[in-house]
Every structure is written in C-alpha cells, then in structure tokens.
Amino acid sequence: MKLKHDELLVRTVGKLGTVREIEDIVIRKSTAGGHVYIRDLASVSDTFEEPTLISHLNGKKSFNITVRKSQVGNIVDIVRDIKKVPQRFEPRLPRR
C-alpha cells in the first residue's frame, strides 16, 4: 500500500486471484464484531508495479527478474521455469 511518504508491504499466505479477493482481506477485527478490510484503507488495482529501477540491455528497455533460493525445489526444474517467465509476460508488456 502506498502511503503519503512511504509504502507498506502486505503479504498473504497462499495465492489471490482477483482484486476483489485482495479487497476482502480482513486487516483488523474488533471485539464488537466489526471488521476493517483492505478496501476500507486502500484502492486495489491489477496493474504493473511502478518502476523504481529502469533497466536497459543493448540500448533497449529490459526487465529484471529476482530469484531467491529456497530450501525446496529441484534446481533443474526451477531454471527451466525461470526461462519461461519472459514468454508469460510478453503479451502484457506495452507495445511501442
């Protein structure tokens, strides 16, 4: 969530598929039974993250992929899946 002078990272367990599912996350429950939802505090949209870093490769805009090692997974499968990432995002990238 973007605040006036800061950003707040919201993490969830599992996957969320829609904007509505994110909006429906309960941030706080009161003893009286009231709930505060993300939709009460923020606007949620499905969009690209605003760039904080702009990358170029051979004079053309590019994008970075950050990969972090975890304790589970087969490295060969992980590398194969990483190589598929650009193909998955190509249809969503802006055209010139």
**Residue 7: inside a domain, yes or no?**
no
**Residue 13: inside a domain, yes or no?**
no
Buried-exposed string 40-59: b where 16+ CB fall within 10 A, e elsewhere? eebebeeeeeeeeeeeeeee
**Residue 68: inside a domain, yes or no?**
yes
**Residue 6: inside a domain, yes or no?**
no
**Residue 1: inside a domain, yes or no?**
no
**Residue 12: inside a domain, yes or no?**
no
**Residue 79: inside a domain, yes or no?**
yes
User: pLDDT per residue over 24-78, tens digit each?
Assistant: 988 899 888 899 998 898 888 887 777 778 888 898 888 777 777 777 778 888 8
Copy the structure tokens of residue 48. Answer: 């690209």
Q: What whole-number distance in Å separates Cα of residue 79 and Cα of residue 67?
A: 10
Q: Which domain holds residue 41?
A: 19-92
What's the predicted TM-score (pTM) here?
0.44
**Residue 40: inside a domain, yes or no?**
yes
Q: How many domains does the chain have?
A: 1
pLDDT band, residue 1 (cuts 50/70/90): low
Confidence at residue 44, expressed as pLDDT on a 0 to 100 scale: 84
